[in-house]
Structure 1
Amino acid sequence: MHSTLNVAWTGRSGDARTSRARSLLQAATRASALLGLSCLLLLGAGAPASAQQTAAADADPEFNTLFHESLKRPADVALAYRLAARATQLGDYEAAIGVYERILFYNPKVVRVRLELGRLYYRLGAYESARAYLQPIDGDGMLSPAEQANVTAYLEEVERRLSTNQWSVYAQAGVRYQSNANYGPSSRIVIGDDVAALLPPSYASKADGNVFGLATVRHVYDFGNQRGDVWETNLNLYYSQQFDIQRLNLGFVEANTGPRFALAPDALPGSSVRPYVLAGGISLGGASYLGSYGAGVSVYLPFSPYFSIEPFVEARQRDYQNSVDYPTAGFQSGGMWTVGAGLFGRITEGVGWRARIAYNDADASVSWYAYENFNADLALPVEFQGLWGVKRWVVIPSVGYSYYGYDAANPFVSRFIPRTDDQYRVGLALDVPIHEQFGLLTQVQYTWASSSLPNYSFDNLSVSIGPNVRF
């Protein structure tokens, strides 16, 4: 039977706090990636829109039946509406546009057809064509108040996207509760110096809440050439203030900037390559904790409305700083390589999917802080008609997995057992629009981890709510 020792943790408190901080930082890193993913879902300003549409409708029996019937009855407007709606559901916007324009040929005064054409051209990224259909019906008395508001919102967005300088902003403020805010181990029986130890209460898991604010800002400068080349800059900001555990107050800032060049504008419209540089920093407990800088390159390939991929490779230098709360943080300094990909697509008209996979290889000043890491996250945004508002509500279920394998055993914990972690997470978010630009976002996420060392097994329930804004 293992003996249980009530150890005096002061001799290794710096290393223990650094381990807890690293667990927190890993969670923050994953959160920042998920934050970026969620913001892209809510902003609709992720990878560039693709002008290439597949003829997926050709394989759909219902579409084929409606298509052949419409050839026999070209003046049947009701049938044409059904055909266009089916093409839109299948993601074949070009087919839908062809049908709606045929309706206009027979009846050029149908205002709602012009509205649908404006929407479809907007989804294709053909903003000038969208404006050509929407401007003449702005203020038309045949539209309902909700439809008129929709036209106005589209026109404002079109003008913004046609500008040489294009800005997108998503921001949220709110409150969050966590059942294990410090990512303390599931059990107070841990390992120290290769023997069982009783973790002091100050290091055990502890619930806490915080107030937080976050923002994602995106700027695109359009060079105005025929290829569609732009300069793209992204800025991510986050800060949380704990109610109780002040050493966990977390600040995060990171920016990347670089050109996005059209890759194959004729063979694969919308494809691009983007080299970029990046820099960022993290504060923890009110003190500087991490500074990083580096560079990367990504390639965006929009194969169809159902599947696009943006692989990337990135290298960065990470410089950790010691502080009163984290006196051994500096030992984590070193370079890190990342290889990964963002994946995007749509399942149906109202259901999309977004995923991110990444592999990290991180060096450190001491071998037991160096690690390799694999992350995978998947989100399925589902739009539906809510209880109020002109915009559809969005519910986003998500799942994720992370693996951490450290290069060597930590002698302060165990000289014989290197640390390996398997972390899992499931989440659910609900974005409720209150206005065209304002909403209320509620998120619930449960995270749990198993580890080769009991010190790092934990679980945590996080619940947050707060207003958001996007423009």
Structure 2
Amino acid sequence: MAQEVPGIPALDRQVDEAFRQVLKTPANHEIGLQYARLLIAAGNYEGGVAALERLLLNADPQPAIRVELAVLYYRLGSYQMSESLLRQALDDARLASEQRTMAQTLLRDVSARNQPSQLTGVVMLGVRRQSNPSARSDAAQVYAAGSLTPLAEGIKPKADTDVQLTARLDHRYDLGWQNEAALVSSLVGQITDYQSSTGRQLRANQEDPYDLAFGELTTGVRFKPAAIALPGLRVRPYLILAELAAQGHRYLSNRGLGLDADYQIDEKTLASATYEYRRTHYANRVDVPAAEQLSGPDNHLRLQLSREIAPGHLLSAELGLRHHQTGRAYYDYNGQELRITYSTSYASPLSGVAGGYWSNALWAGAGQRKYGAADPDIHAGVSRKDNDWRVGASLSVPISSSWSVLMQLEHVKTHSNLANYQAKNTSLMGAVAYRF
């Protein structure tokens, strides 16, 4: 029985052994293909490309090789090479039906990506059930002017159901410059209708959740600032315009600037950062009596690191830092949040069912917010501090090339040094989505 060699992973040993077999029998198609697949599994995509390209030099290579190479070029962002290989493979009558279907699906995608003007989008309709959508306190007593008082029955946690309609449009226009510059714009809209909320009447002390309508536009040029020295770096400065309506009336607006940056460290690791400055303005309404005190600047920084730990398995960590300012110190806060997400993509486990790859995700997060001063209406001697904890899971199941079903479960719990803000909420959502 062979002994394990300390410090050398099993996959690396398989790659080394496959390479030795290739040297012994360079004309053996199956050995060469196995070597290429092992390189790809080990994350050596460039080596996998070279190994597959060598197989194409053989007399009359199988069309499946071109499909595998096209998939690899797609992952590397070389869409023109991917499209050319897919068209050659589809012209070959020997291509098996399952691979032909996959090649046709991928060809539609890369053909769109190779157009100078690209428009993609998704529309989703979902139903969500929440145990406490208004984040009401679950404490028996809360503070009022520094004194503990029993929590009124009308403002205790209350479950509710809402219907959501969400749409997103993404447009990319290739400017044709050598630094791969493109004008990238996104338009997002969402309407949320709660079962318990009816009409458009505004109340000074709203108890039920608001029906909401939200829209946001971002637009800016994405490019490579150092295409030769740092080919993996891309940045996009952009403008932000956002509006939120509640109960059919304008609630708040955002105007601001943002900067995206992502750096492809290697074939399996991506680092990204987003900074946004927004100027928030609340509308004067009967239910927002201190609108001028709530309005102010908001600074938000998100840092993310993603790593493909195996084909179809992605692990990512995101750190969020926020500095929110208003007209009153007790509304100001500094916040931090860390979230870890593990996602997988895999072929359908249901035999005989058509469709693309299933995907699921698990996440967990923790965050805190520290406020700038004590609110005298709550407790003049204590400044608010909240700690949030969340866990969640989602599953996306394709039912055709365009349609899919999404299910999501999440639990959020907030611990606060002031009982007024101690809350928890569990949400369960089911939705159907159409991508184009």
Aligned pairs for 1:286-365 within 5 A: 286-365=248-327
Matched, 1:378 2:340: yes
Q: Is residue 2:27 matched to residue 1:62?
A: no
State the 1:296 CA deviation.
2.2
The question of 1:195 aligning with 2:147 is answered yes
Per the TM alignment, residue 314 of structure 1 is displaced from its structure 2 partner at its CA by 2.3
Letter in 1 for 2:118: Q
The answer on 1:366 being equivalent to 2:318 is no
- Code of the aligned partner of 1:396: A
1:444 aligns with 2:377: no
Q: CA deviation at 1:353?
A: 2.7
Tell me if 1:78 matches 2:30: yes
What's 1:271 paired with? Answer: 233
Maintained 8 Å contact 1:289/1:329: no
Alpha-carbon spacing, 1:423–1:469, altered in 2? closer, same or farther (3 Å):
same
Could you tell me how far apart the structure 2 residues matched to 1:353 and 1:200 are? 44
**Alpha-carbon spacing, 1:267–1:415, altered in 2? closer, same or farther (3 Å):** same
Structure-2 change in CA distance of 1:467 and 1:252 (3 Å): same
Return the alpha-carbon distance in structure 1 between the equivalents of residues 244 and 305 of structure 2: 27
Q: Deviations over 1:36-58 (max 9, x none)?
A: xxxxxxxxxxxxxxxxxxxxx99
SS in 2 for 1:408: strand
How far has the Cα of 1:331 moved from its partner?
A: 2.2
Amino acid at match of 2:427: S
| 1:240-255 paired onto structure 2 within 5 Å | 240-246=192-198, 247-255=209-217
Deviation of the 1:305 alpha carbon: 2.5
Q: Deviations over 1:267-322 (max 9, x none)?
A: 33231222111111222233222101111223221111332212233221110123
RMSD between aligned residues: 2.0
Q: Which of 123, 132, 151 is equivalent to 2:75?
A: 123
Counterpart check, 1:171 vs 2:123: yes
- Structure with higher RCO (Cα < 8 A, 6+ apart): 1
- The percent of aligned pairs where both chains have the same amino acid is 27
1:355/1:280 Cα in 2 relative to 1: closer, same or farther (>3 Å)? farther
**Aligned pair count?**
416
**Structure 1 CA distance for aligned equivalents of residues 134 and 13 of structure 2:** 55
Letter in 1 for 2:186: N
TM-score (norm 2): 0.90
Instruction: Structure 1 unaligned segments of length 5 or more: list them.
Output: 1-56
Q: What is the alpha-carbon distance in structure 2 between the residues aligned to residue 276 and residue 360 of structure 1?
A: 19
Task: Please state how far the C-alpha of 1:390 moved relative to its aligned partner.
Answer: 4.1
Change (3 A) 1:355 1:168: farther
How far off its partner does 1:381 sit? 1.4
SS at match of 1:265: coil
Partner of 1:216: 168
Match for residue 234 of structure 1 among 168, 180, 186: 186
Which protein has the bigger strand share? Answer: 2
CA contact (8 A) 1:171 1:216 kept: yes
CA 1:224–1:234: 2 relative to 1, 3 Å: same
Q: Which amino acid aligns with 1:467?
A: V
Distance in 1, matches of 2:292 and 2:433, equals 36
Q: Which residue of 2 aligns with 1:455?
A: 420
- The aligned residue for residue 134 of structure 2 is 182
TM-score normalised per structure 1: 0.84
**Retained in 2: the 8 A contact 1:150–1:390?**
no
Distance 1:201 1:323 in 2: 26
Structure richer in helix, relative to its length = 1
